[in-house]
Amino acid sequence: MTQKDIAQETYLDAEEESDVEEPEPTPPRILDEIAVVVDNVSMTYTVRSRQEAGTKKTLMDRVRGASGTHTVDVEALKPLSLVVHLGESLGVIGTNGSGKSTLMKLLTGRILPTGGSVHASSTPVMLGVNAALVQQISGRDNIILGCLAMGMTRAEADAKFDSIVQLSGLQDALHLPLRSYSSGMAARLQFAIATSVDPEILIIDEALNTGDAQFRARTRKRLDVLRQEAGCVFLVSHSLATIKEMCSRVIWLEKGELIMDGDPEEVTASYNLYTKKLAQNKPRGARLIREARQRDLVQADIAWT
């Protein structure tokens, strides 16, 4: 073969290779890994307050039907920013009225923020909302109804039935009407139904404080599966033991503000010390703990930026 023939063959080979489509570059994973972005979100409720106690209405007020009420703005959640990634299990703690439920409602879109915005990679599933249970029918029928309510076909519901029963641990009570269930039994059934759809973002509010050690072990295993399948779990609970056992990260909310965000052991330890000071009627000590942790959070944000 002459040099000319070799050159010609090389040229033809190059032509053939150029016809082969180049694989598209893999996009960076960072955006894919973000499940929820809470961007400077705040929530203020306007509520009506009755006339102050001890204030008497005049006769003219009664004739005119004056109610003696005025409106008050309640800042349930102060400006808060948060990024949660797929694969994380985020615990949310705080005393009553701290803003936990408000934040969860904002995540699901049940209420709209008065400031800022919430972005999610998919629609969050909130335990107990998407899997509503009917008191008059059996546990067995509630499983099928709950699956259908979440968009499954009857065939898909039947296929999920056994795994739901196994997770709930209610095999012996399936034939009973739901009204005969304890609150703990109902919570276990709700959890099993809600997690049967493999939601990408799952919100659980106080559902894991019930049940025996075996149920908690099954729950932990199910949450691990959800995270491994690129899921994200928000767990709201007053049980610090549950939070430490189930979560990879914890945030502490207090009076509508973010106080801490980080390792479960560290956050729960600080929160536990804070609540002990409150229980001991030492509000100043509790306030100092809260303010110190919040300063640490601000300094960490400054260092990050």
Mean pLDDT of successive 10-residue stretches along the chain, which has 305 residues: 51 45 42 84 85 53 58 91 93 94 92 94 73 86 91 93 94 95 87 83 71 75 73 88 90 96 96 96 94 82 52
The pair of structure tokens assigned to 53 is 């106690």
* Tokens 């980080």 sit on residue: 262
- Residue 90 main-chain phi, psi, to 5 deg: -100, 120
CATH of domain 34-40+72-124+240-296: 3.40.50.300
The predicted pLDDT at position 166 comes to 93
With residue 288 as reference, give the H or E element that holds it.
helix 283-304
Q: Cα separation of 181 and 186, whole Å?
A: 6
The predicted pLDDT at position 90 comes to 95
CATH of domain 130-236: 3.40.50.300
* Tokens 């056994």 sit on residue: 162
The pair of structure tokens assigned to 35 is 């499940």
The predicted pLDDT at position 131 comes to 54
Query: Could you tell me the residue ranges of all domains in the chain?
Result: 34-40+72-124+240-296, 130-236
In sign, the C-alpha dihedral spanning 95, 89, 231, 141 is negative
Do the domains spanning 34-40+72-124+240-296 and 130-236 agree at the CATH topology level? yes
Confirm whether pTM is higher than 0.85: no
Spatial CA neighbour of 100 closest among 208, 258, 241, 245? 258
Spatial CA neighbour of 9 closest among 167, 1, 30? 1
The answer to whether residues 231 and 90 touch, using CB atoms and an 8 Å cutoff, is no
The answer to whether residues 93 and 250 touch, using CB atoms and an 8 Å cutoff, is yes
The pair of structure tokens assigned to 76 is 């349930």
